[in-house]
Amino acid sequence: MAASLPAPMLARAVDAVPEPDSVEGGLSYEPKWDGFRGIVGVEPGTDGKAEIEIGSRGAKPLTRYFPELVTAFAQQLPRCVVDGEIVVRTGEPGSERLDWEALSQRIHPAASRITMLSKTTPAMFVAFDLLSLDGDGLMGRPFAERREALEKLAAAWEHPLYLCQTTTDVSLARRWLVEFEGAGLDGVVAKPLAAPYAPGKRTMLKVKHHRSADVVLIGYRVHSSGRGVGSLLLGLYDDQGVLRNVGGASAFSNARRLELVDELEPLVERDENGEMVKGETDRSRFSGSKDVSFVRLRPERVLEVRYDQLEGLRFRHTVQFDRWRDDREPRSCTFDQLERPVAYDLSGVIS
């Protein structure tokens, strides 16, 4: 079935929640979930059991990693294709939030580990679009019609299946952008009400948080081509004075990658033989056989970066280089400067 599942429709980034009349036919707004995008296909099987496939934004099917969702889809969904997000919630009642780290641990090669995690950190599925129902393709219809059909389908759903809330009130959407971040959400998505579903196209609009921070340059990775700087490694000092790796900045042009090698040469740490000192970042389940080595730099330069959110003690996504801050002392770059969202219970977003 995986080959028959469509690619997900995508979103392009905008700086602010757009006005509803900025797009012909108006806009519908919804929370932007911080999870794994999943296109779920349900087909009747030859043995009477439903065949379930969970497609992802990439080429990797997610079906085997979420057996608890497969069971729920088989029990609660008819023949259909649904677009949504797989998320994990953690925390005590009254202070629950989305947990990216717990979700990422679900991608594991061992079936026994997957089974255990499906019980200790079970996932949920939040649906936000309906692409087909009982063999009737809906992708060519306006989102307003697809949403109406999805609401009818979801009326009888029970945990772990949920319907994403929406609004056409731009003021409420802007409030969501601020409040829901405290529950671990990623921003707000705006969907044209009159638009058909466009696989692989950036038809939707997404608004994420934009923040800046001054960070210490601690190293760089060589580009995959073998020439130039692929990414800069960044650090912040904690309250014990320890310099922590908090993530990386990349997306440099070919010319800039080569320039950075020469620009950073005076900072390269070398051993007694004059050889470059290299380190390795922590390997994750997403690293695979990827080279995680980096060239160590003396922590003497500060740069300003733009980021969207912090996950634990690391930036959730790759950040964007903004400018060098040679006016800042590296030791002044601490976690205290980072904006922390006000806590918001996830039950206010999903029930």
Residue 76 neighbours by CB under 8 Å, 6+ apart? 156, 157, 158, 161
**Looking at residue 287, what is its pLDDT?**
47
**Which residues share a beta bridge with 276?**
270
Number of Cβ within 10 Å of residue 196's Cβ equals 16
Domain ranges of the chain: 2-208, 211-337
The Cα 336–Cα 85 span in angstroms is 32
| C-alpha count within 13 angstroms, C-beta hemisphere, residue 35 | 25
CA distances from 154 to 76, 149, 189, 247 (A): 9, 9, 20, 39
The Cα 13–Cα 214 span in angstroms is 23
The Cα 71–Cα 90 span in angstroms is 21
**Looking at residue 60, what is its pLDDT?**
81
The Cα 162–Cα 351 span in angstroms is 8
The Cα 347–Cα 333 span in angstroms is 35
Residue 221 neighbours by CB under 8 Å, 6+ apart? 229, 230, 231, 233, 248, 291, 293, 294, 295
- Which of 193, 190, 145, 150 has the alpha carbon at shortest distance from 172? 190
Task: Report the catalytic residues.
Answer: 32
CA distances from 184 to 239, 247, 260 (A): 24, 19, 35
Provide φ and ψ at 4, rounded to 5°. -90, -10
The Cα 40–Cα 56 span in angstroms is 9
> Do 2-208 and 211-337 have matching folds?
no
The C-alpha torsion from 170 through 171 and 172 to 174, rounded to 10°, is 90
Number of Cβ within 10 Å of residue 148's Cβ equals 13
**Looking at residue 179, what is its pLDDT?**
93
| pTM for the model | 0.77
Using the structure block, give the residue that is written with the tokens 């007694």.
272
- The hierarchical CATH code for the domain 211-337 is 2.40.50.140
- Tokens encoding 4: 């028959």
**Looking at residue 341, what is its pLDDT?**
79
First to last CA, the chain: 31
The Cα 297–Cα 128 span in angstroms is 45
**Looking at residue 28, what is its pLDDT?**
98
Query: Tens of pLDDT along the chain (351 residues)?
Result: 544 899 999 999 898 999 999 999 999 999 999 899 999 999 988 777 899 999 998 768 999 999 999 999 999 999 999 999 999 999 988 889 999 889 989 999 999 999 999 999 999 999 999 999 999 999 999 999 999 999 999 999 999 999 999 999 999 999 999 999 889 898 999 999 999 999 999 999 999 877 889 999 999 999 989 889 999 999 999 999 999 999 999 889 999 999 999 999 999 999 888 888 887 765 444 444 556 689 999 999 999 998 888 877 888 888 999 999 988 899 989 998 887 778 889 999 986
- Which of 101, 131, 181, 167 has the alpha carbon at shortest distance from 348? 181
2-208 folds as: D-amino Acid Aminotransferase; Chain A, domain 1 (3.30.470)
**Looking at residue 342, what is its pLDDT?**
80
